Amino acid sequence: MTDLVNLKKSELVERIKELEGQVRQLDDNKHLSSLLNNIRTIVILANSHGEFNYITPSFEWFIGYRMEDLGRRKFINYVHPDDVDRIEAVFRVALNLEGSSLNFPEFRFRHKRGAWIYLEGDINNRIHDPSIGGLVLNLYDVTQKKLFELDYARLLGAIRTSSDSFMLSDNDGNIVFVNDAAMKILGTTKSELIGTNISSYIHEEDLLEVFEQVGSNSGHVKGVEHRFITGDETVIPVESSVAVMKDSDKKSIGYVYITREIGDRKRVEDEIDKYRNHLEELVEARTAELKQSMKKLRNTLEGIIQSMGYVLESRDQYTAGHQRRVTEVACEIAKVMGLSENIIEGIRMASMIHDVGKIYVPSEILNKHGKLDDAEFMLIKKHPQVGYDILKSIDFPWPIAEIVYQHHEKLNRSGYPRGLEGDEILLEAKILCVADVVEAMTVDRPYKVGLGLDSALEELEMNQGLLYDSQVVTACITLFRNHGYRFN
């Protein structure tokens, strides 16, 4: 304080100015520090050897390192090996250009986590500036931009080399981009396509339909077939996917068209259609032949069956008439039950010869008047087995031999010849059994007078579920009582 008092007025003014300058510098440093703490640009101060002297806080935000992590390491140690030579060359040039700014080309820098990020910017030689004393690097993180460029380049490369036609147009349909495939399909050059309207190349009958589908499908349509018109007016079939392009504000900026020529496919499809039609004709012809063959086979089988019936009829006229009546009622019962025509046909065939085994029984027993004795009845009971043995070697389309074998079986095992029960008995045999019983009790036999239809139906009702299948009995009673069916 004593020194200030002893100073001359002029010296005092100079001293005051000096102190004011120091205060302003402190304020400037304070403002600069605040600015550097908030700036998003990466600022690095390096010495002439390329070692870190200072980094802004943004260095940590973008790259992950603090100053204490870097120590006195060199900047180049964090650069990608493939970029080192270029960056070292920039440093050498910058050291020889004092006070000048030099462009820092794009390069890769290792993030603290190990990933490579892309940086670019400039470098300024301020080594002889006493307030700085080094190289100043102003860098920007361009990773997102670079990744976008790489993706775009890959996409553009894929589009250019794609075998599918790729075109872009504005909202009015004016073409702004085409790839090689588009030029090949349309048989024209890029210069001839760019600026022309897409409507020049889509067949006029298809144009409205294509864009109507785009409009009705939320701005895109996939795999729509239409026709292209080439440069020499040739019409070719194509398949296109069309979509509306939108900007960041979701406003339409144009259309993208991805098209594939399908001429070869169409030719193959036409050939397939021809072969299919020819094949259908062959199948129809062969089916008609098979139906005719089946008809002949059935006629042959029916002739065989009728012949068997005639042989039996020559020995026992009653049995022949019995088989015809049982056949009629068995088929009618099956119809009431709603069975298929094929099953009914099998029942008809089996019923026509269900007593063929009686050919084994002497005619005097078959035509005997009066009650059979035990020995004679035992002989009669063998006829299902004999019938099965006669028929089993014939390859019928239905289980004829087994139906004949089972037609005297009862649900409770009281039938013959095997004493089967329940589901062991075929449905066809259950129907034949009921038809046989109702006919036998209704129509007169040589050895007894028929008891009549009412007695026969009462027998069925009383023993349904015990001896006879309930569904079959219900159908039989419906046939006679509701439908008024009677034996001829």
pLDDT at residue number 35: 47
DSSP class of residue 360 equals: G
pLDDT over threshold 90, residue 406 = yes
Same domain for 328 and 353, yes or no, is yes
Q: Is residue 36 part of a domain?
A: yes
Q: Using N-to-C axis directions, what is the helix angle for 470-477 and 427-442, rounded to 10°? A: 50
Q: How many residues does the chain have?
A: 488
As beta bridge partners, residue 138 has 43, 122
Q: What is the mean pLDDT of residues 342-367?
A: 87
Same domain for 352 and 427, yes or no, is yes
Tell me, what CATH number does 388's domain have?
A: 1.10.3210.10
Tell me, what CATH number does 137's domain have?
A: 3.30.450.20
pLDDT at residue number 2: 47
Q: Is residue 314 part of a domain?
A: yes
pLDDT over threshold 50, residue 378 = yes
pLDDT tens digits along 72-105: 899 999 999 999 999 999 999 999 888 778 998 9
Asked whether 367 and 446 are in contact (CB, 8 A), the reply is yes
Domain boundary among 94, 119, 147: 147
pLDDT at residue number 107: 94
pLDDT over threshold 70, residue 481 = yes
d(CA 297, CA 406): 25
Query: Quick one: which of 429, 430, 418, 428 has its CA closest to 468?
Result: 430
Same domain for 230 and 86, yes or no, is no
Amino acid at 359: I
Domain boundary among 97, 121, 147: 147
Percent of the chain with pLDDT over 90: 32
Q: What is the mean pLDDT of residues 195-199?
A: 90
pLDDT tens digits along 7-29: 454 565 565 556 555 545 544 44
Q: What is the mean pLDDT of residues 371-377?
A: 82
Q: Is residue 241 part of a domain?
A: yes
Same domain for 78 and 170, yes or no, is no
Residues near 210 by Cβ (< 8 Å), separated by ≥ 6? 202, 221, 224, 226, 240, 242
pLDDT over threshold 90, residue 153 = no
Predicted TM-score (pTM) of this structure:
0.46
Q: Is residue 290 part of a domain?
A: no
**How many structural domains does the chain have?**
3
Q: Is residue 154 part of a domain?
A: no
pLDDT over threshold 60, residue 453 = yes
d(CA 428, CA 344): 9
Residues near 415 by Cβ (< 8 Å), separated by ≥ 6? 408, 409, 433, 467
Same domain for 322 and 441, yes or no, is yes
Same domain for 342 and 255, yes or no, is no
Q: Could you list the residue range(s) of the whole structural domain that residue 472 is in? A: 307-482
Higher-confidence position of 463 and 153: 463
pLDDT band at 31 (very low <50, low <70, confident <90, very high): very low
Q: What is the CA radius of gyration of the chain?
A: 53
Q: Is residue 266 part of a domain?
A: no
Domain boundary among 200, 228, 261: 261
pLDDT band at 478 (very low <50, low <70, confident <90, very high): very high
Owner of token pair 């890769």 = 108
Same domain for 387 and 431, yes or no, is yes
d(CA 199, CA 418): 85
As beta bridge partners, residue 252 has 246
Residues near 331 by Cβ (< 8 Å), separated by ≥ 6? 344, 347, 348, 351
Q: Is residue 72 part of a domain?
A: yes
Amino acid at 310: Y
pLDDT tens digits along 241-280: 998 988 878 888 899 899 988 888 888 888 888 888 888 8
As beta bridge partners, residue 137 has 44, 123
Same domain for 120 and 176, yes or no, is no
pLDDT at residue number 323: 85
First to last CA, the chain: 153
d(CA 196, CA 230): 13
d(CA 355, CA 345): 18
pLDDT at residue number 10: 59
Same domain for 222 and 347, yes or no, is no
Q: Is residue 191 part of a domain?
A: yes
> Would you give the distance in Å from CA 187 to the centre of its chain?
37
Same domain for 332 and 401, yes or no, is yes
Higher-confidence position of 145 and 435: 435
Same domain for 344 and 469, yes or no, is yes
Across the chain, mean pLDDT equals 84
pLDDT at residue number 27: 47
Same domain for 226 and 322, yes or no, is no
pLDDT band at 437 (very low <50, low <70, confident <90, very high): very high
pLDDT tens digits along 296-348: 777 777 777 766 766 666 666 666 578 889 999 999 999 999 999 999 999 99
Asked whether 140 and 44 are in contact (CB, 8 A), the reply is no
Asked whether 230 and 179 are in contact (CB, 8 A), the reply is no
